[in-house]
Structure 1
Amino acid sequence: MSETKAVIGITMGDGAGVGPEIILKSLQNQEIYDLCHPLVIGDAKILNRAKAYVNSSLNVEAVTEDQLGSLNYEHGTVYCLDLNLLSEDLPLGQVSAEAGHAAFEYLAKAIDLAKKQQIDAICTAPLNKEALHKGGHKYPGHTEILADLTGTSEFSMMLSAPNLKVIHVTTHVGLIDAVKMINPERVYRVIQLAHETLTKSGIAQPRIAVCGINPHAGENGLFGYGEEEEKVVPAVQRAQDEGINVVGPLPADTLFFRTVRGDFDIVVAMYHDQGHGPVKVLGLDAGVNITVGLPIIRTSVDHGTAFDIAGKGIVEEKSMMEAIRQAVELAPKKQ
């Protein structure tokens, strides 16, 4: 029996940013249509406006939810589930409540479609957190919206770049709050999520390395106040007792180099910048953001709305294309 292509819901993100451009640039590639059925969830008028920025000849066709079961998804036509939330003259490169609210609604619609199995995975273009808040949605970002609207309490952000995967114990909180939030149960659960995610992807016994919190992972109490012994070591030992191939806490200043070298399959980072920094050094256009622990698959570009270059047509689409590829790879397989 042949495998049916996955329908990937691609949310447009903030319409004042580069989301429409990276979507159009990605969907100009036949490869994407060979892999999946891409459905943009956003505003058709904004996609049409962006065609001029990227010199695209694609046909943007606005569709309704009732039509989703009858689309043929041929290269050359971009189907947009048109929520019609933005004005045609939305200013580019500016924070606006209008665009922030719309970005939330695109994601909420995608989550609803995934729950109803009308799409198989979600791939998100970037939103702007300030605009999101101005639009009345007080979330730190995509990940927290997804968790809230799916009723998920245990989740984590995983970043994937060439030769490096990183999963986070904490993400969008201040550093002092992050250290307070780290505890053995949360560290253990993130180790579990890393193990489960990589096992499902085909790695039989993934090699997991856990960062310390302090410089040199505390160096036996020389740095910090015993955070590693209190918050990290019990989680690592518990996971090891269950047969998970995990080591740590290890000094973060050398661990990422060792992982890129091939010593480990994934790093458990303690806080946002500890994990994001090394991934972004490898290239802003190469990273993909994956939310693990959700009942639905969600991937994303690992860059922001890039307001400074919106409308110039110079943004790279590599991260969006890789995010679509990984959404297809992780999506439930249909016959």
Structure 2
Amino acid sequence: MSDAPVIALTTGEPAGIGPELAVMLATDGATGTTPGHRRVAVGDAGLLAERAEALGRALEIVELAPGEPVPETRPGRLPVWPVALAAPSRPGVLDIRNGDYVLETLDRAVAGCRAGEAAGIVTAPLHKAVIREAGHADFTGHTEYLRDACGVDEVVMMLATDRALHATGPDWQGPRSLRVALATTHLPLREVSDAVTPERLTRILRILDADLRRWFGLAAPRIAVCGLNPHAGEGGHLGREELEVIVPTLAALRREGLTLDGPLPADTLFTPRHLAEADAVLAMYHDQGLPVLKYAGFGRAANITLGLPLVRTSVDHGTALDLAGSGRADPGSLAVAEALAADMARRAARD
């Protein structure tokens, strides 16, 4: 399996569940099978060994030197690109001394992709406040950090349930997949309206259309676009952003060849009839779209960053400090994110 893509798994906040989720994937693959890609964890090797011992999991940690090939994945063995902790870490106990450590794991993973050592990155959850308090006051999250690290102007956050990867059961009455992208991400609600501009919507929708083609093989993706206001503004009676910004922007993009429906009221767009006709939904703000997706597939969904020159996926949950060290964390979302990253990397290699 030497041609299997290498996926770099950053282990996230050391006090959270990320390290033990990596251990779980490495010891049982979450599904009991060996994946069709090669996994390399990025983090402190001693920390991973400690978490494996605490979980009662037999795990061989293999530290790799820069440029050393990543071996085939097999249960019970975890290759690691080592990044040293700044301070010892205990489950559930945050330490701002390790804020820079988390960013160093991301930098190592990006460097590995740029050097051809890896085909994609999967990120376990980090803790934003720790990183900010460690001296990075402007840090807003993985998505924006990777945007800057890769030197691109715009990225798009999209979450997808595992129905985007697998066929559904015979009783499922909704869409075969649910993909929700965001026009704005981590903004206070009072700032969202000013951020929904023709320029931003144009950039976001072009990236979304292009990467649905690039990474998901959709020849002519159909995107359903939410309005910003209740009832999509109700003809201007509940806000004019639809009339003045969203409608003319969508019209211009349709002339470029994009297939766009909307703007549609969010409370009716997220129903089976509309979703069955859409390959993806663009929500105007974080809590307009993501509660629906997480209700439909929490724990079995992945976060994808579109617009990067590399593959990046992540989990649909946070650091879960209350579960850290307990052995009760669910690796399902991380397994979905890793499988999706490998699928995307294989598609890119074919193209």
Q: Following the alignment from structure 1 to structure 2, what is the Cα–Cα distance between the partners of residues 190 and 47?
A: 38
Give the superposition deviation at 1:27.
2.1
Q: Which residue of 1 aligns with 2:126?
A: 127
* Coordinate RMSD, CA, aligned: 1.9
Which residue does the alignment assign to 1:168?
A: 182
* 1:233 counterpart letter in structure 2: V
Q: Following the alignment from structure 2 to structure 1, what is the Cα–Cα distance between the partners of residues 33 and 20?
A: 15
The offset of 1:86, in angstroms, is 4.2
Q: 1:141 and 2:131 equivalent?
A: no
1:207 aligns with 2:208: no
1:32-53 per-position Cα deviation (integer Å, ceiling 9, x unaligned): 7431110000001111111134
- Alignment-mate amino acid for residue 61 of structure 2: V
Deviation at 1:134, TM superposition (A): 1.7
* 2:62 equivalent in structure 1: 61
Aligned length: 331
1:248 to 262, 277, 286: 262
Q: Is the 8 A contact 2:178 2:275 kept in 1?
A: no
Structure 2 segments unaligned to the other structure (5+ residues): 164-176
Pairs within 5 Å for 1:168-247 = 168-200=182-214, 201-224=216-239, 226-247=240-261
Distance 1:298 1:98 in 2: 26
Matches within 5 A, 1:26-41: 26-29=25-28, 33-41=34-42
Distance 1:83 1:125 in 2: 15
**Range with greater deviation from structure 2 (252-261 or 33-42):** 252-261
The 8 Å contact of residues 8 and 39 in structure 2, kept in 1 or not, is answered as yes
Deviation, structure 1 residue 334:
6.9
Q: For the residues of structure 2 that align with 1:323 and 1:285, how far apart are their CA atoms? A: 10
SS at match of 2:251: helix
Q: C-alpha distance in 1, partners of 2:56/2:245?
A: 53
What's the CA shift string for 1:180-210, capped at 9, x where partnerless?
Answer: 1111121122222221122221222111100
Residues 1:264 and 2:278 aligned together:
yes
- The residue type paired with residue 11 of structure 1 is T
Alpha-carbon distance, 1:92 to partner = 1.8
Asked whether the 8 Å contact 1:101–1:131 carries over to 2, the reply is: no
Counterpart of 1:144 in structure 2: which amino acid?
A: E
The CA distance in 2 between the partners of 1:174 and 1:260, in whole Å, is: 28
SS in 2 for 1:35: coil
Q: TM-score, normalised by structure 1?
A: 0.93
Q: Is the 8 A contact 1:95 1:130 kept in 2?
A: no
5 Å matches for 1:17-32? 17-29=16-28
Question: How high is the TM-score relative to the length of structure 2?
Answer: 0.89
Percent of residue pairs identical:
36
**Deviation per residue, 1:91-112 (Å, 9 max, x gap):** 2213321232211110011111
For the residues of structure 2 that align with 1:148 and 1:112, how far apart are their CA atoms? 13
Would you say 1:82 and 2:82 are equivalent positions?
Answer: yes
**Counterpart residue number, 1:108:** 107
* Stretch of structure 1 that moved more, 187-196 or 5-14: 187-196
In 2, the alpha carbon distance for the partners of 1:80 and 1:4 equals 19
Q: CA offset at residue 261 of structure 1? A: 4.8
Structure 2 counterpart SS, 1:279: helix
| In 2: Cα distance, 1:254 partner to 1:248 partner | 11
CA distance in 1, matches of 2:198, 2:233: 16
